[in-house]
Every structure is written in C-alpha cells, then in structure tokens.
C-alpha cells in the first residue's frame, strides 16, 4: 500500500468535519445540479439508470426529505456513478444528507467501535471502573470524564504518551495499556520537582528495612523520602489479566515506580518496592530508552532485565540471607520468629515471605499456603498511601491527593530524612 492511502477513521473524520461547515452539499442538491448541467430530465435519468419512473420519483423525494437512510444503497451508488461522483465523495454527500438524529447514531456507532478496540469492557467492569458492558454512551461518558478528554477519540494521544504496538490486539493488551497509560499520565501530572539523586538512594535503601515494622505509616514515610530524592512512587490497583505486579517508568527524565496490591499482603508491598528500586539502580539507562518496564511480563527476558537478581536484591536489602539461614530452623515457631524480627528491626512477614520464596526457588517446595496467616494484610499501609484511581470521578482527584500526600514541608522533609538516617541506631 502506498503512503497516501488513508484509513477509514481518517476519511470519516473528514466527513464529520465537512458537516460542521455551513452549506455542506447534500445528495439532493448534487443530483439537481448535475441534472441541470447534463440537461436531462427525471424521466431520462430513470431510463438511463433502469429504475421505474414512479420508483425513481419516490426515491428522489426521500432524498429531498433527508430520508436517505430509507433509500437502498445500490440505487444511491448507481446515481452517483452516473453523475461521476467517486466513492469517497459519495460517502461525504451521503452523510451530509442524513437527518441530525441519524448522524448522531452514526457517530455513536463509531465511538462504540473505538471503545471496543481500545478497552477491555468486561475487564473494566470487573475492576469496578464501569457499571455496564452494554450502555456504550454511559461507558463513553465515564471514560471521557475520568480522563478529562476532549473526546473519546483523543484517548490514545492525550493519555500517557507511550507508544504501543498494535500488532497484537487482545484483551490482555487492552487492560495492560489502560494500566500503563493511567500510570504514565499520573506521573506526568504529579511532576515531581525534585532531582533524582542516586547517591542518596544508595544511602537510603539499606535503612528501609526497619520501616517495615510500622504497618500504618512506615511505607508512607519511605515513599515520601524517595519523592524527596526525585523518585515518585504510586500504588495503583492490580487489574486482572495483566499479570503486572509493578513497574518502573521514566517520565520527564526522572524514575517513577508503580506498586500494585497484586497479592494484597503486607510483605509483598515492600518486596515490590525494593524490586523496582533495583531496576532504577541498575537498569536506568535502558529504562530511559524503553520508557517503562513492567515486572511480571515476558518483556523482561526480551530486554535482558534480570528479575531474579531484582528479587534477590529485594530480600537481601530487607532481611539478609545469613539471618534467614539462622532463623529458618525455627520458622514454625511464631513467637521465636516475632522476637527475632524485633531484634533485627524487620516485620515478621518479611521473614516468612523470604522463607517461602527461597523454598520455592531453590527446593521447589510450596509453603505459601502453610504460612500465609503470617504474611499480614496490606490494608493499614495502603490506607495511608493508596490513591486508587479506578474509584475516582476523575483521574485528577487521585493526582491531587498524591501531590498533597507527597508535598511535605521542609521541616517534615528534614524529619523524614533524619529518621531514615538514624533508623539503624
């Protein structure tokens, strides 16, 4: 195909733009003008087109009354071919000849097609984002209002300037794209004003572990400190079918992290955060090229992201391997594990999570079900930091809440940094 070929959306967009121009030609006007130029009568034209005269007269009357939708398309096609009107021009004239309510119905059908091709409707309903899978006007209104779009057709250009491959349009990709675009858009609008400081990140990471002990505000304190050194962290709910557990983005040349509530356990929040911090430390240049990386997807192998290294880094920074080796013999004694966790300034769920991870990775033993009662819920931590955009009227509500949460005073900033610096004392 040549580069001059246009797709249906481009053609239809031109058609709708023509309708906004006063005096757009309609089919009846064109027929009358062409008959006059050719010097032929209705009777001659009916004979030429092999249409019964009375049938032709009724056809012309319907066209004159704006009822072209009640005229069979083949007859319109014959008329236009005789008058020397091409298919594209015919489409423009045909639409211009429709009554206003028919044009609105046609436009709504085009919007519904766009929605189906860009969104997983069932997935969004399962996530609680929309209430219906059948009322496309309501779905359109929800999407346009949520993202504050100029129109539904601007979703791809306005939300999250990320290039997506269109070679594989399946349900999973639509949910993944919705998740990525939403995150990217939030990072753009949050616009962290602080510069990323790798040296300070290296200083902070080994001191994060003790904050796991504070279920209610420990996670918040850490992400406020990260924000202060140029790393924006948001919690965005896991969407079914995506398999995304977290992600690292580069937005405005600054690293950003999305943590999900994929497992809804307390320890997994911290592991996910540390996992993405590993990618910032060791994969930053590649991230700048790719713009984002999602943990839990096959692209990791394709781009040589070492997820196994990131996992090991997460556990080692939270609770060293040597300490796990010491306590694993007593892992079935909750009292002993709790006491050991307190001595080593870490939440006990981290110990249980690390133990289950290692047993599965090294020995192919599945102990998650056996020890899940000790993993703790993420509810307390998420209550203070969760800015779940899916239940907001608009995505901007979540963004404003995030900015208020992270924009702390200089005095508070100093206290956060001081506490992180002293937490191993």
Name the pLDDT band for 4 (thresholds 50, 70, 90). very low
pLDDT digits (tens, 9 = 90+) for 290-346: 888 888 765 555 556 788 899 999 999 999 999 999 999 999 999 999 999 999 999
Quick check: is 403 in a domain? yes
Give the position of tokens 């858009």: 185
Q: What is the mean pLDDT of residues 156-172?
A: 58
State how many domains the chain has.
3
Cα–Cα distance, 95 to 103 (Å, whole number): 7
Residues 55 and 143 in one domain: no
Quick check: is 182 in a domain? no
> Residue 151 corresponds to which tokens in the numbers above?
């129109």
Quick check: is 66 in a domain? yes
Give the position of tokens 């998650």: 368
Share of the chain above pLDDT 90, in %: 43
Where is pLDDT greater, at 35 or 192?
Answer: 192
Residues 226 and 277 in one domain: yes
- Report the pLDDT value the prediction gives residue 17, as an integer from 0 to 100: 54
Q: Where are the alpha helices (DSSP H) in 152-217?
A: 155-158, 171-190, 198-204
Q: Are 195 and 409 in contact (CB under 8 A)?
A: no
Closest CA to 115 of 140, 135, 142, 148: 140
Quick check: is 2 in a domain? no
Residues 142 and 205 in one domain: no
Residue 386, pLDDT > 50, answer yes
Quick check: is 186 in a domain? no
Quick check: is 412 in a domain? yes
Residues 79 and 108 in one domain: no
Residues 47 and 137 in one domain: no
- Report the pLDDT value the prediction gives residue 110, as an integer from 0 to 100: 87
**Domain boundaries, position 144:** 103-158
Residues 241 and 382 in one domain: yes
Give the position of tokens 């250009």: 157
Residues 218 and 291 in one domain: yes
Residues 235 and 322 in one domain: yes
Residues 135 and 263 in one domain: no
Q: How far is CA 31 from the centre of its chain?
A: 49
Name the pLDDT band for 409 (thresholds 50, 70, 90). very low
Quick check: is 203 in a domain? yes
Quick check: is 187 in a domain? no
Residue 367, pLDDT > 90, answer yes
pLDDT digits (tens, 9 = 90+) for 37-51: 888 888 888 888 888
Cα–Cα distance, 49 to 132 (Å, whole number): 48
Residues 265 and 387 in one domain: yes
Residue 168, pLDDT > 50, answer no
Residues 131 and 70 in one domain: no
- The whole-chain average pLDDT of the chain stands at 83
- Of the listed ranges 23-27, 132-136, 362-366, the least confidently predicted one is 23-27
Q: What is the mean pLDDT of residues 411-417?
A: 48
Residues 284 and 255 in one domain: yes
H or E element, residue 139: helix 136-147
pLDDT digits (tens, 9 = 90+) for 209-232: 999 999 999 999 999 999 999 999
Please provide residue 257's backbone torsions phi and psi, each rounded to the nearest 5 degrees: -130, 135
Q: Are 387 and 234 in contact (CB under 8 A)?
A: yes
Name the pLDDT band for 9 (thresholds 50, 70, 90). low
3-state secondary structure of 86: coil
Q: What is the mean pLDDT of residues 350-378?
A: 93
- Of the listed ranges 8-22, 253-267, 292-306, the least confidently predicted one is 8-22
Closest CA to 375 of 221, 273, 263: 263
Give the strands of the sheet with 292-295, arranged side by side: 232-235, 254-259, 246-251, 292-295
- Of the listed ranges 179-188, 189-198, 333-342, 385-394, the least confidently predicted one is 385-394
- Report the pLDDT value the prediction gives residue 358, as an integer from 0 to 100: 93
Closest CA to 241 of 111, 121, 368, 113: 121
To 5 degrees, how large is the angle CA 224–CA 228–CA 232?
A: 65
Name the pLDDT band for 241 (thresholds 50, 70, 90). low
């Amino acid at each position: 195909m040549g580069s001059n070929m246009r797709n249906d959306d481009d053609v239809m967009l031109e058609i709708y733009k023509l309708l906004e121009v006063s005096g757009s030609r309609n089919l009846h006007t064109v027929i009358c003008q062409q008959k006059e130029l050719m010097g032929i009568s209705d009777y001659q034209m009916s004979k030429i087109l092999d249409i019964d005269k009375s049938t032709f007269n009724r056809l012309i009357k319907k066209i004159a009354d704006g009822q072209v939708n009640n005229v069979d398309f083949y007859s319109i096609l014959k008329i236009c071919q005789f008058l020397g009107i091409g298919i594209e021009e015919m489409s423009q004239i045909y639409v211009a000849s429709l009554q206003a309510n028919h044009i609105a119905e046609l436009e709504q059908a085009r919007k519904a097609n766009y929605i189906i091709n860009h969104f997983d409707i069932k997935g969004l309903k399962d996530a609680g984002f929309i209430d219906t899978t059948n009322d496309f006007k309501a779905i359109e209104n929800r999407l346009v209002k949520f993202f504050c779009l100029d129109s539904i057709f601007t979703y791809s250009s306005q939300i999250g300037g990320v290039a997506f491959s269109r070679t594989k349009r399946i349900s999973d990709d639509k949910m993944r794209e919705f998740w990525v675009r939403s995150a990217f858009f939030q990072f753009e609008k949050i616009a962290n004003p602080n510069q990323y400081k790798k040296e300070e990140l290296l200083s902070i990471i080994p001191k994060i572990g003790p904050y796991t002990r504070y279920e209610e505000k420990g996670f918040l304190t850490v992400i406020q400190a990260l924000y202060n050194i140029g790393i924006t962290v948001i919690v965005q709910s896991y969407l079914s079918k995506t398999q995304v557990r977290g992600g690292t983005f580069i937005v405005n040349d600054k690293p950003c992290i999305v943590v999900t509530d994929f497992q809804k356990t307390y320890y997994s929040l911290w592991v996910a955060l540390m996992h993405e911090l590993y990618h910032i430390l060791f994969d930053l240049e590649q991230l700048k090229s790719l713009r984002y990386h999602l943990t839990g997807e096959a692209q990791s192998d394709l781009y040589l992201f070492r997820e196994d290294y990131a996992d090991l880094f997460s556990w080692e920074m939270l609770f060293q391997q040597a300490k796990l080796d010491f306590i694993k013999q007593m892992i079935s004694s909750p009292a002993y594990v709790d006491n050991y966790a307190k001595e080593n300034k870490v939440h006990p769920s981290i110990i249980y999570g690390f133990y289950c991870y290692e047993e599965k990775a090294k020995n192919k033993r599945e102990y998650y079900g056996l020890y899940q009662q000790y993993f703790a819920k993420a509810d307390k931590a998420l209550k203070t930091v969760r800015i779940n955009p899916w239940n907001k009227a608009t995505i901007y509500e979540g963004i404003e809440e995030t900015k208020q949460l992270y924009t702390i005073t200089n005095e508070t900033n100093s206290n956060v940094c001081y506490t992180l610096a002293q937490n191993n004392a």
